[in-house]
Amino acid sequence: MIADKIIEAKDVSKWYGTFRVLTDINLTVGKGERIVICGPSGSGKSTLIRCFNRLEAHQEGEIIVNGIRLHNRMRNVAEVRKHVGMVFQQFNLFPHMTVLMNCMVGPMWIKGVPEAAARKTALRFLERVRIPEQANKYPVRLSGGQQQRVAIARSLCMEPAVMLFDEPTSSLDPEMVAEVLETMTSLARDGMTMVCVTHEMGFARAVADRVLFMDSGRIVEEGKPQDFFTNPRHERTKLFLSQILSH
Amino acid sequence: MLYPDTVESEVLVHKPWFVVSIFAVVLALCLISNLTGTAMGELMRPVIGDPLQSGFYGRFAIALFIAVSFCLNVVLIGFAPLKVQIAVVWLETLLLFIAFSTTFNLSLPFIWEKLPFLITQGLVTTIYISAISIFFASLIAIVAAVAKLSNNGFAYAIASFYTSFFRGMPLLMQVYLIYLGLPQLGFLIDAVPAGVLALSLCVGAYMTEIFRSGILSIDRGQWEASRSMGFGFSLTMRKIILPQALPIIIPPMGNMFIAMLKDSSLVSAIGVWELTFLARTLGQSTFNHMEMLITAAVIYWLMSICLELIQSRIERHFARSKAR
Ligand SMILES: Nc1ncnc2c1ncn2[C@@H]1O[C@H](COP(=O)(O)OP(=O)(O)OP(=O)(O)O)[C@@H](O)[C@H]1O
Ligand SMILES: [Mg+2]
């Protein structure tokens, strides 16, 4: 049973100075599960998922990722990050490398995969996100949607156990949102474990196993999408949903 | 290039008020500085007679001639395409400089005679001292920049003390301190190594700041993306951050290199036979000071031009991944 838990957070709290960003977060993500986290701006969604690959440190509670406990003095944080893919709102591709190189460097430098094999893997995943023809371009030449799909491919090349998405579509034009969501949906269909921070409720409805609603650093509500959207229990959730679905 | 608008603006040098005002300025300047005694006066002899006897008439005629030809020149250049404009203005300015140096009545044979030695001994020494110093300065700078950015108190303290100390003192003092001070501590040091050491430390201190600001200018997201893939600090620095910081630090580095090439002249103070030292000593016995000084100046200039060309090549190389 333990082996099936990819991420386990127990009573996690985090402060920025005296400001409590996360309060007693409890969350378990099983293998193959798709979790969507939503909530108002500043509620701590990004902070939470950034704790899962230790881009942020938590101060209280326990986070176990892929069987490794995250803490201040850990020496094997790279071991964790190797298995946790992350996709950012701002793509954060490496602008001085071609798209192909962006996808190859992870496996080559971290896993010691030989160049030819890395190239093959990279091309396979670029095809998977349907932009193999852009492989030799530099990232600035690509549209936002294409860049984000490259970023997804870059993470996939590491063959991660879980993918974290931090508002992957928030900085994209509407038609590009669709292409990125499509990619993410197909990933989900293939059984990838995913934790997505997003406000794309259509996506949440279609692929999520569970939807979490956060407010002021707490998980206020958690449920299957159909329950979550049709009869939310908390006032705060209702308000949020009415705002976000009203237009 | 600045941002070019798609609407062509009026050519400034074709606006009457502009032409009239530069005409007035040039005329006034030439009137104030009496040019009758100079080569200009000789040139105008057919019109004004004996320049020294011509009085205000001669003075005015010369000023008018210069002002008219200057304005005509400016207006005509305004019609030429960009590249031609640049070439013509460069050429004219250069000619003016040459005309200026001929006023010293330089002895060309003397220059030809001394030039080979000036190059084989002076120029070569200058170049190798500069090259070695730049190499060490870069090494020092990168280490000090990382130390200054680290949260290790010890490293930060050492690095900031270093930059503060060596940026805060005249290079000449450092040259003396190292050359004369180190032997006091029991390290005998030759002039050339002492010069190289002083230059490396001083330039390294300035470069530290260039590197530091270059590293800081890289978006946080690059660190996050790199770390989130499991890359360690050193890998991130070497393969992700520095390659991106490089194009940003190239222009200030080019500046630094050019400045340092010329600052290397300060090691002449401790008797290293580099360009400036030779320029000062070779002309001394025969009182041909100006010949050697101007020759050395031109050699420094030519070397700087080489560095500028190299810099612009590198900049063009890096423009590749930025181009849309
Ligand atoms: N480095 C920091 N120092 C201090 N406070 C911070 C820092 N980073 C984030 N915060 C604060 O923590 C809170 C949670 O931030 P977080 O980025 O997790 O919110 P979010 O839910 O992702 O919001 P958004 O939808 O705008 O991305 C915010 O109030 C923010 O101001
Ligand atoms: Mg956020």
* pLDDT attached to residue B288: 82
Q: Is A42 in the pocket of ligand 1 (CB under 6 A)?
A: yes
Could you give the 3-state DSSP secondary structure of residue A8? strand
Range list for CATH 1.10.3720.10 in chain B: 108-323
pTM to 2 decimal places: 0.83
Confidence bin at B108 (pLDDT 50/70/90): confident
Chain B residue whose CA is closest to A109: B231
Report the mean per-residue pLDDT for chain B.
89
**Average confidence (pLDDT) per 10 residues, chain A, 247 residues:** 79 94 95 94 94 94 94 90 95 95 95 95 94 92 94 95 95 91 94 94 93 94 92 90 80
What's the angle, vertex CA B208, arms to CA B204 and CA B210, rounded to 5? 115
User: Distance between CA atoms of A34 and A39, rounded to whole angstroms?
Assistant: 17
* pLDDT attached to residue A3: 53
Q: Would you call A140 an interface residue with chain B, using a CB distance cutoff of 8 Å?
A: yes
Higher pLDDT, B270 or B8: B270
User: Distance between CA atoms of A35 and A9, rounded to whole angstroms?
Assistant: 14
Closest CA to A195 of A72, A81, A30, A1: A30
Could you give the 3-state DSSP secondary structure of residue A223? strand
**What number is the average pLDDT over the span B276-295?**
86
What is the whole-number distance in angstroms between the Cα of residue A200 and the centre of ligand 1?
A: 20
Which amino acid, one-letter code, is at B290? M
**What number is the average pLDDT over the span B208-216?**
94
Closest CA to B235 of B222, B244, B224, B226: B226
Residue A62 host element (H or E): strand A60-65
Q: Report CB contact under 8 Å: A140, B324.
A: yes
Confidence bin at B323 (pLDDT 50/70/90): low
Q: Is A175 exposed, middle or buried (0-12, 13-18, 19+ CB in 10 A)?
A: exposed
**Interface pTM, i.e. ipTM:** 0.93
DSSP string, B90-143: HHHHHHHHHHHHHTT---HHHHHHHHHHIIIIIIHHHHHHHHHHHHHHHHHHHH
> Which one of A21, A25, A198 would you pick to mutate in the ligand 1 pocket, going by the greatest count of ligand atoms within 8 A of its CB?
A21
CATH superfamily of B108-323: MetI-like (1.10.3720.10)
